[in-house]
Amino acid sequence: MIVRVSTEGQYELEDGPLERMHELDHACQAAVEAGDGERFHACYEKLLGLIRDEGAELDDDDLRGSDLVLPPPDITLAEARSEFSGHGLIPD
């Protein structure tokens, strides 16, 4: 799976961290729905950290398409409301 983090780059991940990504995605969604910006940002940073740690960063000239595009690390709670609205970012 290739994951793009907007404004940052692309990472290639094996299927191993997918379950943990789903858990963090659901936790981020719950924080957004609760209007808890601090909890959302902590959770989203964990999600991005997992992708950075478990994924292999792709070179800029690697033109493979992304399977998943995530918002930038500095996303606001207001912006996250539209991104996470009714569902998470990672398809089940």
Percent of the chain with pLDDT over 90: 77
Flag whether pLDDT at 7 surpasses 80. yes
Average pLDDT, the chain: 92
Count CB atoms within 10 A of the CB of residue 71: 18
Flag whether pLDDT at 83 surpasses 90. no
Residues 54, 48: Cα–Cα separation, whole Å: 10
Q: What is the mean pLDDT of residues 5-21?
A: 93
DSSP label of 66: P
Task: List, in order, residues 6 or more apart from 57 with CB less than 8 Å away.
Answer: 9, 10, 11
Residues 67, 81: Cα–Cα separation, whole Å: 22
